[in-house]
Structure 1
């Protein structure tokens, strides 16, 4: 199913706490009513999804026949109006510190002026984020490996969705420049320059693969300004010159009288960052460096503090270089802050306001699609299974019988930001187990809507189930379809652009499944045969 407009997949399970920015005011979240349905359509422009009113507000015959397109947004006419709306979008992506959760964004006007400046100059709104250095060296307790995994994937898509949301209200759109700070710290932490390069290259490839067109990557050398490396930089050039890039950036930008200790005491944001570094060093470095050490606990603690202070100094030089290079950009940060000079955002929103990052953790998925970041060593193998993608460990998924299709070759992929793609690899499925398969699809749709079922033998003629208005006695038309009947067909013609490919499934009752799905006056969940 091509052209999934992921930022419009706005159907979520009832009763779950809103975490993602786009979930604001959605039915079924934070106690809002859940008697609604979604419509998934494929037309020449791609796929759009929209939450519609309750069943009482729309005729059943319209459910699969009407084309629901994204509501047009009337662009504000003045830079001030645009700026205020863009600012409200940024605030939805904001990750305030735990003491600021209920507080408005401080110095809002400062960020607003930066936005208005871009609008007046008719340029994309520029944001810069120092992040994505390298995977934690603690491969035993914290992360799954040295390469980006599902955590980085969702983080990139989340940043890209921020820009897409801005594009809806400002025609010039927005972009996020990601500047990896890996080379600023890796030598202190025992990470090789080659590992930083490998991680960064894999991250760039992932962004391209996932269509993150609003994200751009900036190398450390570009912050030097007067150095021409003849981009694109090759791995050989990178490894040869990395130590020089690192030393030059530090020497050119660190203030002569800079004292990490004084800065930690006088600047609250630096204090928060320093505490984060100490916590990071306890888990990432100590296990490796001091496992067989004869150093006392006091000596280890002092060493840890010295390393953290060195990281603060490197970070200060790095921050100054970024401020010079991206003077007109909105400075984003993954670290907790007072939001006075930079806007703290969460790459992956999580319950409890946790600010864990994907390069220090592993992604954990619940059956309903809920996301949490956790250290690998803290994930229970009794309740979760490790999912591999492209031959590498990618994330943990909650165990459930819903993912067991009696030996059938089926893959389950969670969509961003909501929903699930079920890919049936077998050319045929056991027809005697149709109700068995269908029950699982419907149950998954109730938990993680919309559910898209994709098979190599989908019949276009069988793809659309037209729901009809219920009769006074509550019965509905038997005009419907059986998912497995469609999946079992071979040599079917390819769907044409413009075909409506939506099936609405009831959240109550399973009677009549072999004949088809019967619509009731309840919450419907999208199931799409793609």
Structure 2
């Protein structure tokens, strides 16, 4: 079910000192930007719909209004009385009370959204940015999108930017797009590249327009490792590589130590009924999980099971399916943890809880019951990470591949409610990046910071190469 979103602005007040042509051009550019991003359900509406979109008519009306304000009306204004009225009226103007009735008259069934913090009475507050990027809840016209030196994204106070530390990055059309802190992390040895933040997490790296293509064999993997730890998933697009597994394997070794499995080191992720790796090698949807959830070693002292999941996943798309579905979703702990609270479960309560999981897939994982904490420190950075496995009954997959999950809290109904809330959060669009594969894509993902899943896809061959690195 689709919904239309109309953006009404009270810029009439703020734009009194700005040339009419600039105001009109700005409105037109907003519409063009939305169209270029495929935002077909977003419309920018001027106050009232009486203003024609015809440039000549718009300027004529605007000029007449300005002349009236500067001419006859200006001669009759009592400045002292005007100041008193202004003081009284400003709170109402700031709260859009002056034009709200006209909007509701034309959009009777609308729900009012706001980008300002509020108590959600009469309107619903909406943060346009992922939670981890905007902790101070800056509005778009007070903030600027900035890529920091470690490649993390933050919304910073636009009026307080130290331009000695930042540079303005332009988009493919050559227009200012965002700020980026100066750092060697973005210097890839002569490669002219764009580093584009993905929503709501991750980063896309590709050759600038008119440059490349560049060879994957020449990519600096220490840069890749640093970036993937700060902004997973890291997507490299448009890089060429010889179709040889040894080339892929050698680049993985530059990233770290390769994790081997009973099937070897490189898994060809494609439909294969002869290899049992749960439902990975099918066209089925998969649960949200992190790789190596069931990979353990026995503690010699306690006899318990110690988890040993790999740190990185390294993917290379070999064949991209042209059919519907087959998206890979990456849910970041950086975005999920700030959303924990009374509506789900508070972070401090979640720290005290554990979850138990079990799979019947003996061949791949040994069918051992495992007890896990929800919040664990990242093995390399030490920051909080969220760990879970979406419950996945056999009714959703091939027999023998189900995953049973219980939240260890009483009563069990409360545990089930927590499980459902956490699962919904992982799929939340403020948390999860939805990736549509293109042939030749490389993805480097921090397996400790993220969970991932796959949507089901229809008939059609699709294949990735995947290797795990520690």
**Larger radius of gyration, structure 1 or 2?**
2
| Higher share in strand | 2
| Higher share in helix | 1
For Structure 1 versus Structure 2, the TM-score category normalised by the shorter chain is 0.3 to 0.5
Return the structure number with greater relative CO, CA threshold 8 A, min gap 6: 1
